[in-house]
């Protein structure tokens, strides 16, 4: 069901709207009575889903302009319901995945998930952030005596890209909720382990909630505490400091004092290095831009397995587009985005992980980092 906002301009339009209301039995939200519909006054009317197209066509025919005020009434209803009565969209424990969550809720969520799916999920410590917060990843693994290859996915390396941690949480939920009913997922987990780090840059993420919504970097101080933050995605040891960076702390692409100077970078790098011979795929999730980026950012020279990387990437983009028509471009960062060095994706590939990708999720700049809450679900669904 949708709620439409209409401002009728003439008495003729008012009459037509009153006619639509009485013949189709539409639900007037404002004003309450059809006789109170006036030219120049706001009209809010709820249209049941099966009638939406018909009503819009009729409005278009009569040159009555409208705007969709609420694209999905059910969704709003679900979101405002108390937890116990939640709809199918929410997990048993009542977590709303189609909303952005602050860090303390994400910590709680990780504990809940481990408790609720203890046969499959274990929470592991990765390291500490600069401001002394623990970094945890979730390991989703079907018990078996054979050794398994690993797919790594991290989210939230850049604080303001809120859709990214939202996706990691959604991803975990989808896999776990559908594990029993979906044979594809079961087969997947028979052969592969999933390691998911929902928020890499925890200090930055918290800062973007409390202080500066558009913050990007971590929160370590430089220049005697007069300047904060390293761009963690310029801090890895992949042609570090060579291009697309700044050595000035005040820059949003400050690469740090040396490769892996930051505790968050070190925590991830040390872990990946230890496990690298088992990791087949490294995914790092960002926004915005709607891109699937392959190595490298630091050079246009293609990686050795470029064809494979492109093939897999293109298949992913096609599957993504198939869901809601959202188009993604695929290619090396240096060619379709910009040059940069020290990225985690480049580093993962350089140490031998064959499939390494950066995902830039929705959108294309209209809302940019401030992606509306109602786009969380479709973005996550298509990216699955």
What are the residues whose beta carbons fall under 8 Å from the beta carbon of 271, sequence distance 6 or more? 126, 127
Closest to other proteins by CB, 347 vs 369, is: 369
Min dist CB 327 to other proteins, Å, is: 11
Closest to other proteins by CB, 128 vs 227, is: 227
By the rule CB under 8 A, 183 interacts with other proteins: no
By the rule CB under 8 A, 251 interacts with other proteins: yes
- Strand extents, DSSP E, the chain: 2-6, 27-30, 43-47, 66-70, 121-128, 134-140, 149-155, 192-197, 221-222, 227-228, 279-287, 291-294, 329-332, 355-361
Among the residue ranges 62-70, 126-134, 183-191, 301-309, the one whose residues contact other proteins (CB under 8 A): 62-70
Q: Among 23, 33, 40, 143, which residue interacts with other proteins (rule: CB under 8 A)?
A: 40
Q: Would you say 40 and 24 are in contact if contact means Cβ atoms under 8 Å apart? A: no
Among the residue ranges 11-19, 84-92, 341-349, 360-368, the one whose residues contact other proteins (CB under 8 A): 360-368
By the rule CB under 8 A, 372 interacts with other proteins: yes
Among the residue ranges 110-118, 172-180, 348-356, 362-370, the one whose residues contact other proteins (CB under 8 A): 362-370
What is the separation of C-alpha 257 from the centre of its chain, rounded to a whole number of angstroms? 30
- Residue among 131, 360, 381, 382 flagged as catalytic: 360
Instruction: Map the footprint of other proteins across residues 119-138, applying CB under 8 A.
Output: none
Among the residue ranges 65-73, 83-91, 105-113, 314-322, the one whose residues contact other proteins (CB under 8 A): 65-73
Q: How far apart are CA 177 and CA 184, in angstroms?
A: 13
Give the count of residues interacting with other proteins (CB under 8 A): 40
306's tokens: 């470029």
Min dist CB 208 to other proteins, Å, is: 8
Min dist CB 150 to other proteins, Å, is: 30
By the rule CB under 8 A, 19 interacts with other proteins: no
Q: Among 330, 371, 379, 383, which residue interacts with other proteins (rule: CB under 8 A)?
A: 371
Instruction: Map the footprint of other proteins across residues 81-100, applying CB under 8 A.
Output: 100
Q: How far apart are CA 47 and CA 268, in angstroms?
A: 50
- Burial-class residue 360 by CB neighbours within 10 Å (0-12, 13-18, 19+): buried
* Per-position x/- string for 324-353, each x denoting binding to other proteins as judged by CB under 8 A, each - no binding: -------------xxxx-------------
Phi, psi of 208 (to 5 degrees): -75, -20
Min dist CB 57 to other proteins, Å, is: 15
Q: Would you say 297 and 291 are in contact if contact means Cβ atoms under 8 Å apart? A: no
What is the separation of C-alpha 192 from the centre of its chain, rounded to a whole number of angstroms? 23
* Per-position x/- string for 284-323, each x denoting binding to other proteins as judged by CB under 8 A, each - no binding: ----------------------------------------
Q: Would you say 362 and 326 are in contact if contact means Cβ atoms under 8 Å apart? A: yes
* Per-position x/- string for 140-169, each x denoting binding to other proteins as judged by CB under 8 A, each - no binding: ----------------------x-------
By the rule CB under 8 A, 369 interacts with other proteins: yes
Q: Would you say 332 and 313 are in contact if contact means Cβ atoms under 8 Å apart? A: no
Instruction: Map the footprint of other proteins across residues 197-236, applying CB under 8 A.
Output: 209, 211-214, 216, 226-228, 231
Look up residue 299 and give its DSSP letter: -
What are the residues whose beta carbons fall under 8 Å from the beta carbon of 270, sequence distance 6 or more? 127
What are the residues whose beta carbons fall under 8 Å from the beta carbon of 65, sequence distance 6 or more? 6, 7, 59
Q: How far apart are CA 123 and CA 244, in angstroms?
A: 35
Please indicate whether residue 258 is annotated as part of the active site. Answer: no
- Burial-class residue 334 by CB neighbours within 10 Å (0-12, 13-18, 19+): buried
**Active-site residue set:** 360
Where on the chain is the footprint of other proteins (CB under 8 A)?
Answer: 5, 7, 9, 40, 65, 67, 69, 100, 162, 209, 211-214, 216, 226-228, 231, 244, 246, 250-253, 337-340, 365-375
């Amino acid at each position: 069901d949708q709620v439409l906002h209409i401002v009728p301009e003439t008495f003729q339009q008012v009459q037509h709207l009153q006619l639509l209301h009485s013949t189709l039995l539409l639900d007037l939200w404002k004003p309450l009575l059809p006789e109170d519909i006036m030219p120049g006054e706001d009209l809010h009317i709820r249209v049941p889903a099966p009638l939406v197209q018909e009503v819009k066509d009729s409005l278009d025919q009569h040159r009555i302009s409208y705007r969709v005020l609420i694209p999905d009434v059910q969704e709003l209803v679900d979101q405002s319901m108390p937890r116990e009565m939640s709809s199918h969209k929410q997990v048993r424990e009542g977590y709303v995945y189609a909303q952005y969550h602050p860090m303390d809720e994400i910590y709680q969520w990780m504990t809940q998930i481990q408790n609720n799916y203890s046969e499959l999920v274990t929470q592991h410590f990765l390291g500490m952030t600069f401001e002394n917060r623990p970094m945890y990843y979730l390991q989703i693994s079907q018990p078996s005596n054979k050794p398994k290859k690993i797919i790594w996915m991290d989210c939230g390396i850049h604080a303001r890209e809120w859709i990214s941690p939202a996706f990691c949480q959604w991803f975990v939920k989808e896999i776990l909720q559908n594990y029993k009913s979906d044979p594809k997922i079961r087969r997947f987990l028979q052969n592969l382990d999933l390691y998911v780090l929902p928020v890499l840059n925890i200090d930055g993420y918290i800062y973007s909630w409390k202080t500066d919504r558009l913050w990007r970097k971590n929160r370590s101080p430089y220049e005697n505490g007069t300047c904060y933050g390293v761009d963690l995605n310029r801090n890895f040891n992949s042609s570090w400091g060579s291009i697309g960076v700044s050595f000035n702390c005040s820059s949003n692409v400050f690469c740090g004092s040396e490769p892996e100077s930051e505790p968050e970078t070190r925590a991830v790098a040390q872990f990946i290095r230890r496990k690298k011979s088992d990791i087949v795929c490294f995914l790092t999730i960002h926004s915005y831009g709607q891109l699937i980026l392959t190595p490298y950012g630091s050079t246009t020279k293609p990686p050795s397995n470029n064809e494979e990387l492109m093939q897999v990437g293109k298949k992913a983009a096609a599957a993504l587009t198939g869901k809601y028509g959202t188009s993604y471009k695929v290619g090396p960062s240096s060619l379709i985005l910009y040059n940069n060095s020290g990225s985690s994706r480049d580093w993962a590939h350089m140490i031998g992980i064959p499939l390494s990708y950066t995902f830039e999720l929705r959108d294309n700049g209209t809302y940019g980092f401030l992606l509306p809450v109602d786009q969380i679900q479709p973005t996550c669904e298509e990216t699955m």
